[in-house]
């Protein structure tokens, strides 16, 4: 067989088999077996430039030393050169670290914490509030007024708002204290969600929440979806046809909000709460309004059933829950 393999490249497999009296099928079978047979790995020869084990250990000790334990190999290499010492190349330092499973970030720097996704559920008003601050442009360039808004996520009712000349934790504290008194919030009843602004994370606000028995949660950094109700409410505000590009004064801003928020709470038919107004849902009149609307729909069907497809039109029920980041269903 070996003679055939030597002769075949020059004259061809078939003539070589005929000349030497070897079965061509047997040759092919042997080739197939040799391809599938496991190869015995050969030990790689040690390059002559490889550092001896004692020198490699010396380099590892240097990298482990208190002086260099937080330094990258590039910095260690350059520092030793400045001091007139050379032990090995930068690549060799990395190889030695890799052999000891120590190739990782060595620099002494801040690690970003692993922020947990907030998952909040409200099944009734005054269980979860969301709050945020947005800027309203003032009369001159780079001048702003600050609108603080507290929203109930179940009813979408704006329970408190304020326009101020600055973003202040003390002003936020005062607004929350007044709003909780107005809504008669009891200890352990409420969770308040916000993003990670300075006022939201301030100690005065945190101490007030602790005194009132309120649980506070925060969005993950740079994740606007973690505070969707406040973001949507601000969009409704700023997309109003009469929302000005700039406010002439803080009095103008307050005057606009004094008109907008009563409309939003008492007249705005919100698509997220079955086209009911936030006030109707917040103060427990949703079922009454839905029954009244259903009576109208039933009468319309009785008068002209041909205008409807197969059945009496039904009013959409009020959602049973409002979520911030609902948990994903478990996959089987």
Find the CATH number of the domain harbouring 231. 3.30.420.10
pTM metric for this prediction: 0.68
Report d(CA 224, CA 231) in Å as an integer. 8
Would you say residue 146 lies in a domain?
yes
- Same domain? For 248 and 149 the reply is yes
What pLDDT shows up at residue 39? 67
- Same domain? For 253 and 142 the reply is yes
Q: How many domains are contained in the chain?
A: 3
Q: Of 57, 93, 97, nearest to 78 (Cα)?
A: 93
- Same domain? For 225 and 263 the reply is yes
What pLDDT shows up at residue 10? 78
Whether the Cβ atoms of residue 167 and residue 189 lie closer than 8 Å to each other: no
What pLDDT shows up at residue 48? 82
How far, in Å, are 234, 249, 277 from residue 140 at the CA level?
22, 10, 36
Q: What element of type H or E holds 191?
A: strand 191-194
Would you say residue 163 lies in a domain?
yes
- Same domain? For 216 and 268 the reply is yes
What pLDDT shows up at residue 116? 83
What pLDDT shows up at residue 49? 81
Q: What element of type H or E holds 135?
A: strand 128-137
Report d(CA 199, CA 179) in Å as an integer. 17
The helices-and-strands tally (H runs, E runs) of the chain is 12, 7
Q: Which two three-digit tokens encode residue 288?
A: 């009454």
- Same domain? For 127 and 28 the reply is no
- Same domain? For 14 and 156 the reply is no
Would you say residue 76 lies in a domain?
yes
What pLDDT shows up at residue 28? 83
Q: With a cut of 70, list the residues of the chain below it in pLDDT.
A: 1, 37-40, 105-111, 331-332
- Same domain? For 88 and 211 the reply is no
Which of 69, 99, 129 terminates a domain? The answer is: 99
Would you say residue 208 lies in a domain?
yes
Would you say residue 246 lies in a domain?
yes
- Same domain? For 265 and 188 the reply is yes
- Same domain? For 232 and 184 the reply is yes
What pLDDT shows up at residue 245? 94
- Same domain? For 130 and 169 the reply is yes
- Same domain? For 238 and 183 the reply is yes
Would you say residue 64 lies in a domain?
yes
Q: Which residue segment(s) compose the domain that 67 sits in?
A: 53-99
Would you say residue 237 lies in a domain?
yes
DSSP-H helix ranges across the chain: 2-11, 13-20, 24-36, 53-64, 73-82, 90-99, 169-182, 203-212, 228-238, 250-266, 278-282, 286-303
Q: Which two three-digit tokens encode residue 225?
A: 């979806």
Would you say residue 269 lies in a domain?
yes
- Same domain? For 255 and 196 the reply is yes
């Amino acid at each position: 067989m070996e003679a055939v393999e030597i002769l075949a490249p020059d004259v061809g497999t078939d003539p070589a088999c005929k000349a030497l009296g070897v079965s061509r099928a047997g040759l092919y079978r042997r080739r197939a077996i040799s391809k599938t047979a496991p190869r015995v790995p050969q030990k790689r020869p040690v390059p002559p430039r490889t550092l001896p084990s004692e020198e490699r250990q010396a380099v590892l000790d240097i990298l482990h030393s208190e002086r260099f334990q937080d330094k990258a190999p590039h910095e260690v290499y350059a520092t030793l050169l400045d001091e007139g010492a050379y032990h090995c190349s930068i690549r060799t330092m990395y190889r030695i670290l890799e052999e000891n499973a120590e190739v990782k970030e060595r620099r002494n720097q801040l690690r970003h914490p692993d922020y947990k996704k907030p998952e909040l559920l409200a099944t009734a008003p005054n269980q979860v509030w969301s709050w945020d601050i947005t800027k309203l442009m003032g009369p001159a360039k780079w001048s702003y007024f600050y609108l603080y808004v507290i929203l109930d996520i179940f009813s979408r009712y704006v329970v408190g708002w304020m326009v101020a000349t600055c973003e202040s934790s003390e002003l936020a504290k005062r607004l929350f204290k007044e709003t909780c008194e107005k809504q008669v919030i009891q200890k352990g009843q409420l969770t308040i969600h916000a993003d990670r602004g300075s006022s939201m994370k301030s100690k005065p606000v945190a101490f007030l929440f602790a005194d009132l028995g309120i649980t506070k949660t925060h969005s993950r950094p740079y994740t606007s979806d973690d505070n969707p109700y406040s973001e949507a409410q601000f969009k409704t505000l700023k997309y109003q046809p009469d929302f000005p590009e700039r406010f002439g004064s803080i009095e103008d801003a307050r005057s606009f909000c004094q008109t907008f928020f009563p409309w939003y709470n008492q007249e705005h038919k919100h698509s997220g709460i079955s086209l009911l107004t936030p006030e109707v849902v917040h103060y427990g009149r949703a079922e009454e309004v839905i029954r009244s609307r259903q009576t109208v729909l039933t009468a319309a069907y009785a008068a002209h059933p041909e205008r409807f497809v197969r059945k009496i039109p039904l009013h959409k029920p009020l959602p049973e829950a409002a979520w911030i980041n609902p948990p994903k269903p478990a996959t089987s």
